[in-house]
């Protein structure tokens, strides 16, 4: 029987630095480059949770989709079919990741994981 407590993950997205940082039990586990919203459709700032996940969602969403609990619209962390967009303010408010990165992240974090988006 495994007596270890499950890992407690938290994601912090810094829109100014174009980074997504994954914390495991309060310690920085890994950091990823991301694309964020453009000025006309900014990424929402605040505290959210991952409310749903999908593999191969189709369209421009790349290999994975992790929907956020934002009430101001439909936002998520997802892959991209445009890897050249990573590191830019270019999306309609979502957080874009390289497909290999979003697959890794999606496999690590469960639904309900806290996501903090900061400037």
Catalytic residues: 78, 94
Where helices occur in the chain by DSSP H, the ranges are 99-108
Give the residue from 56, 78, 58, 57 showing the smallest Cα distance to 66.
78
Q: Is 87 exposed, middle or buried (0-12, 13-18, 19+ CB in 10 A)?
A: middle
């Amino acid at each position: 029987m495994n007596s270890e407590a499950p890992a407690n993950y938290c994601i912090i997205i810094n829109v100014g630095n174009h980074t997504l940082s994954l914390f495991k039990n309060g310690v920085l586990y890994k950091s990823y480059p991301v694309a964020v919203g453009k000025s006309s459709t900014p990424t929402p700032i605040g505290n959210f949770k991952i409310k749903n996940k999908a593999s191969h969602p189709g369209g421009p969403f790349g290999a994975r989709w992790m929907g956020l609990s934002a009430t101001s619209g439909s936002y998520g962390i997802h892959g991209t079919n445009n890897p050249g967009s990573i590191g830019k303010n270019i999306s309609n408010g979502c957080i874009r990741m390289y497909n290999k990165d979003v697959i890794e992240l999606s496999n690590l974090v469960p639904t309900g994981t806290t996501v903090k988006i900061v400037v």
